[in-house]
Amino acid sequence: MTFQLPSLNYGYEALEPHIDGTTMTIHHTKHHNTYVTKMNAAVGACPELGSMDLLTLNQKIGTSEIPADQMTNVRNNGGGHWNHSFFWTVLAPPSSTNGPSSELKAAIDGAFGSMDEMKSKFNAAAAGRFGSGWAWLGVEEGGKLTITSTANQDNPLMANVVDQACIPVLGLDVWEHAYYLKYQNKRPEYIQNFWSVVNWEAVNGYYAEATQGKAPKL
């Protein structure tokens, strides 16, 4: 299959003032597009990769189904493509969504005690990720919510190579390219402002699917 850069459901400036339009433009058209280009090159060099969709490629990282000579390439670029495709969907213009569904809110309260406590733990995971990586809210096997972080372009779908596997329902990019133009070294400020642009409708939908064992197929 040929991978494509997904379009956004909002303009590059729509997330301001929390995420600036210049960062969004560069992040989407340059950084994300590079992962797409490199994944297509990987498929050209190894046609059997083209028989798997993006979700499956991420889930098969660390298994013999990904050729050894392409493992790092697919892990970095297939991970980068899935992570960013997911990230764009969980963002929305400020004040345009209504918050967690009653089902998700109950699950958050059950797992963390409160919405504020969930945010605090998520923020700590995002701020504490050394170097480049991601923070995630996800549903682990058994249906309970969990918070984790991954390095580089890894994600919790890569059950064979990450410390904590789950089905992501919310993610935050904490690579410097995601925030440095506006926030410089103030990663915690970027993380805090992220909550103003979360697309809760998307998160609610991902949560409903995840409780049935279904991961986002982007």
Residues annotated in a binding site for Mn(2+): 27, 84, 173, 177
Residues annotated in a binding site: 27, 84, 173, 177
Domain 20-218 class in CATH: alpha beta
- Distance (Å, whole) CA 74 – CA 14: 31
The pLDDT-based confidence of 1 (bands split at 50, 70, 90) is confident
Q: Look up the pTM and report it.
A: 0.97
Q: What angle is formed at CA 179 by the lines to CA 178 and CA 184, rounded to 5 degrees?
A: 140
- Distance (Å, whole) CA 58 – CA 28: 20
Q: Please provide residue 151's backbone torsions phi and psi, each rounded to the nearest 5 degrees.
A: -85, 155
69: left (phi over 0), alpha (psi -120 to 50) or beta: alpha
CA quadruple 146, 147, 152, 155: dihedral, nearest 10: 20
pLDDT in tens, 30-88: 999 999 999 999 999 999 999 999 999 999 999 999 999 999 999 999 999 999 999 99
Q: Pull the structure tokens for residue 50.
A: 């083209």
pLDDT in tens, 87-146: 999 999 998 989 999 999 999 999 999 999 999 999 999 999 999 999 999 999 999 999
